[in-house]
A = this chain, B = another copy of it.
Amino acid sequence: MHVSFDELNQQFNRVLLKIGFSEDRAAVCARIFAENSLDGVYSHGVNRFPAFIKLVKEGKINIHASPEVIDENGVIENWDGHLAPGMYTAQLAINRAIALAKENAMGCVALKNTNHWMRGGTYGWQAAEAGCIGICFTNTIANMPPWGGTEPRLGNNPLVIAIPRKEGHMVLDMAMSQFSYGKLQEYELKGKELPIAGGYTQEGVLTTSPEKIYQSKRILPIGYWKGSALSFMLDVLVTTLSKGRSVAKITADKVEYGLSQVFICIEAAAIAADIIEEIITYTKSSLPIDKEGSIRYPGENTLITRKRNEKEGIPVNDEIWQQLLDL
């Protein structure tokens, strides 16, 4: 079925108010969940909402807590999220990084004890909308072996880079694993193989079989040793800058909460639009692999999906919609 953005937003809002969210906070969180679905990131929109509510009920997310500024050092602020809802705190943090950047050309908020921000791209779009370059990253629970190892010790630690552009912002939102476990599940449910190797079998052979990767837990980092190293460095960066919990500490608790995040903004109101168009045009001039295929800049697909979902409604699984109505 398809539902409108407003319908989805209202349902989220209703449930959040029902479990005790304040009005303004419910509005912010409902909007972010609804926008994630509108933009096609269903895994962190409507499909994730019931799991979010569960974590609230389990007390891992404190809906009344507010993030607190605990240190200020030049253009960097250190915040304690006090386990408030992750997307609520993240949009406050990027807003503050935007303000610091407007004042000093660059600004940074390093945040500890926060929760899952759902779609990282949300805060990239927010920075770009405010005329800033946004660079954000988070750690996660361990879900990927380091290069040379067989047991998960690294998070997939998403990295977001956003650059403002009048005709549509450029937003890269990428995890350090080649495929997420959510994506593996999608392929598995359809009975399909992955288009390229996404991990190893238990015997250590590269495989396109989602089942075999589930068995081995050896999901592949992007670029093999390179993504492993980048994921490692992102965890060291978020953890040391925020003085928060590392992937190791988060994983020890077995439930993904109390994360560390960094939000960096660079003022870019006067960014050279002609240079950006030159880069896009040049990149797209590469002879495409398929006649129908096209080369896209990061964020272009999101805008296409957003427009389609605005027009046709947001596709929602019937069962999940019913779950939402029953909440």
Q: Is the CB of B226 within 8 A of A276?
A: no
- Interface residues of A: mostly helix, strand, loop or mixed? mixed
Q: Is the CB of A237 within 8 A of B105?
A: no
Q: Is A27 an interface residue (CB 8 A)?
A: no
Q: Is A240 an interface residue (CB 8 A)?
A: yes
CB-defined A-B contacts under 8 Å, sample of 14: A75-B75, A148-B289, A148-B290, A153-B283, A163-B236, A172-B233, A174-B229, A204-B289, A222-B224, A232-B283, A239-B272, A239-B275, A247-B282, A248-B283
| A147, A153, A272 — most chain B CB neighbours (10 Å) | A153
In the complex formed, the residue of B with least CB distance to A241 is B266
Query: Which of the candidate stretches A37-45, A82-90, A292-300 sits at the interface with the other chain?
Result: A292-300
The CA-CA distance from A132 to B286 in the complex, in Å, is 39
The CA-CA distance from A293 to B204 in the complex, in Å, is 14
* Number of A residues, CB within 8 Å of B: 76
In the complex formed, the residue of B with least CB distance to A260 is B275
Partner of A153 from B232, B241, B286, B290 at Cβ < 8 Å: B286
Contact pattern, A 255-293, Cβ under 8 Å of B = 1, otherwise 0:
000000000001110011001101101111111111001
Contact pattern, A 204-229, Cβ under 8 Å of B = 1, otherwise 0:
10100000000000000111101101
Inside 8 A of A248's CB, which chain B residues have their CB?
Answer: 278-279, 281-283
In the complex formed, the residue of B with least CB distance to A77 is B105
Given contacts A153-B283, A229-B174, A279-B232, contact A74 B104 (CB under 8 A): yes
Contact pattern, A 168-184, Cβ under 8 Å of B = 1, otherwise 0:
00101010001000000
Report A's interface with B, CB cutoff 8 A.
Answer: 73-76, 103-106, 108, 133, 145-154, 161, 163, 170, 172, 174, 178, 196, 204, 206, 221-224, 226-227, 229-230, 232-233, 235-237, 239-241, 243, 246-249, 251, 266-268, 271-272, 275-276, 278-279, 281-290, 293-298
Partner of A267 from B73, B147, B223, B294 at Cβ < 8 Å: B73
Inside 8 A of A226's CB, which chain B residues have their CB?
Answer: 174, 178, 222
Inside 8 A of A272's CB, which chain B residues have their CB?
Answer: 239-240, 243
